[in-house]
Amino acid sequence: MLVLENLKRVVTCAPAGVSGPLLREHMGDLAPLEGDLAVAVRDGRVAFVGPRAKLPAGFARAPRHDCRGLLLTPALIDCHTHPAFVRSRADEFEMRLAGASYEEIAARGGGILSSMKAVREAGDAELLAATRRNLQRLRDHGVAVVEGKSGYGLNQQHELRQLRAIRDAGEALDMHTIRTCLAAHSFPPEFRGDDARREAYVRQVCDEILPAAAKDGLAQRADVFCEQGVFSVAQAAAVANAARRHGLRVTVHAEQLSASGGAALAAGVGADSADHLEFADAAAVSAMARAGTSAVLLPGSTYHLRMGQWADGRAMIGAGLCVALATDFNPGSSPIPNPCFVMNLAVMRCGLTPAEALAAFMRNAAHALRLDTAQWGLVAPGARAAFALWDVEHERELAYYAGANLCREVITCQGWRF
């Protein structure tokens, strides 16, 4: 048992009468509480949140945690990251600043393939240590639940090593990880050259890598980078269907660099989410709305790649989509481990309000991952006991102080992950 006290403001993200994700006009309804507040925890779950004077008698002698008058929210959920990378790609960053494009660098064997090389060369201990450092960076910025993708192994052995590193690093840091096999991130050097080689890699992903990743729950989901010059819509459909057959849930990197049909494909296969969506048009958005496919916006990568086109979050909210945000933390397109900075970008460039941007990292991120929104991404009785404390007076400041780390503490309580 534990009682959190010395709280003046708590963002519950639990407006009365709303279940599931926060949609349309409800998206900004964070249902904050004010006053002399307390949160009580038993067995890893929230048992009470409200005025300290109403704390149930059973908690009178429970240990206390002093929250120092800071703002309390649910711990953030980062629903799209690539954390199992070993080295920065700041060298390519300089090349891009000097004029080379992301696609040009990739075509020269840099980009995703340079991260692949580093992963394949690293020993298990080095890969785990690097992954752990990357997840720690997210935790330092308020995150306790993280979706982590492989995708820098690009063969069975190294994809599985990445997934294990994410699992083990998460356990070491008491973070809850959702693991996604992204073997279909790029074509490895062994399978480049012609269409037949590329098709052979797709078959290997479908018939060997995904089933191995699904075994024993190592991965829960599969992802595919559907983009011109990478995986075609037909290849992405094959990956999605194979994932399903092996019991994996599906998500898609869609419409990031061009309008390449990934969002319609995601809707068509009933994917949990389509992510990026800078180039998604109105037809794609309505297909996603009909299919119940969530939109995960990653404006950190739009910013870092200096793109002119930003995802139109306002239109997606208006169409009734569950809109979530994530850091996309990775060494190539988004070396950005700070969700508050991503909230700032979403507010400045994607049309979200500060309250909506925060909901997009809490309850809506839970739904994008198909976590139960009665337990994840909110502070209410029955919710998982993971919280973040912020050095601000009001939650609107989280999207406002761009670049600062406002998180003072992430509190994860005994048993919260199970």
The span from the CA of 375 to the CA of 371, in Å, is 8
**Residue 232 site contact among Fe ion, ligand NIG, none (CB < 5 to 8 Å, cut-off depends on kind):** none
CA distance 94 to 99: 9
Nearest to ligand NIG of 299, 332 (CB atom): 332
What's the one-letter identity of residue 313?
G
The nearer residue to ligand NIG, 8 or 87, going by C-beta atoms, is 87
Q: Which is nearer to ligand NIG, 86 or 388 (CB)?
A: 86
Residues that bind Fe ion (CB under 5 A): 328
- Three state DSSP letters for 124-176: HHHHHHHHHHHHHHHHHCCEEEEEEECCCCCCHHHHHHHHHHHHHHHHHCCCE
Tokens 């800071």 belong to 70
For the bound state, the minimum distance from the C-beta of residue 298 to ligand NIG, rounded and expressed in Å, comes to: 6
CB 286 → ligand NIG: shortest distance, Å? 24
Distance from C-alpha of 320 to C-alpha of 292, rounded to nearest angstrom: 9
CB of 29 to ligand NIG, least distance (A): 30
332 binds, among Fe ion, ligand NIG, none (CB under 5 to 8 A by kind): ligand NIG
DSSP H helices in 246-295: 262-268, 282-291
The least CB distance from residue 73 to Fe ion, in Å, is 24
309 by DSSP, 3-state: which? coil
Q: Shortest Cβ distance from residue 82 to ligand NIG (Å)?
A: 6
In the bound state with ligand NIG, the residue whose beta carbon lies nearer, of 294 and 333, is: 333
Taking CB atoms, the residue at the shortest distance from ligand NIG is: 332
Out of ligand NIG, Fe ion, none, what residue 170 binds, judged by CB under 5 to 8 A for its kind, is: none
Task: Count Cβ atoms within 10 A of the Cβ of residue 275 and give its class: 0-12 exposed, 13-18 middle, 19 or more buried.
Answer: buried
Q: Which of 137, 133, 240 is nearest to 183 (CA)?
A: 240
Q: Which is nearer to ligand NIG, 3 or 86 (CB)?
A: 86
Residues making contact with ligand NIG (CB under 6 A): 82, 111-112, 115, 225, 253, 256, 301, 328, 330-333
